């Protein structure tokens, strides 16, 4: 995936998302401070502070976390 496409998710009203890689792993980005970009890699920090370095060529999709959170909120509210 093009790094610029991922960067666009961070600007203009950030919404949490998940990066999915070609091997099926998912990396949560709940806030813009959890992701950094190098020239040839993407760094994602998890809740424990561990850093995963991803090759953008292996990032196959971005999935919004917003819909997931709203569904959970509705389920617990009722």
CATH code for residues 3-68: 2.30.30.100
Domain ranges of the chain: 3-68
* pLDDT one-digit tens code per residue, 29-47: 999 999 999 989 999 999 8
Q: What's the CA gap between 20 and 42, in Å, rounded?
A: 12
Rounded to whole angstroms, what are the CA distances from 27 to 5, 41, 53, 62, 73?
16, 14, 11, 10, 21
Q: Which of 8, 22, 20, 69 is nearest to 44 (CA)?
A: 20
Predicted TM-score (pTM) of the model is 0.78
CA atoms within 13 A on the CB side of 54: 31
* pLDDT one-digit tens code per residue, 1-29: 888 889 988 987 899 999 999 999 999 99
Residue 23 DSSP symbol? T
């Amino acid at each position: 995936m093009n790094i610029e496409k991922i960067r666009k998710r961070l600007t203009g009203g950030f919404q949490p998302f998940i990066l999915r890689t070609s091997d099926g792993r998912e990396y949560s980005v709940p806030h813009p401070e959890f992701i950094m970009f190098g020239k040839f890699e993407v760094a994602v920090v998890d809740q424990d502070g561990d850093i995963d370095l991803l090759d953008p060529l292996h990032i196959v999709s971005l999935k919004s976390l917003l819909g997931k959170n709203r569904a959970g909120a509705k389920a617990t509210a009722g």
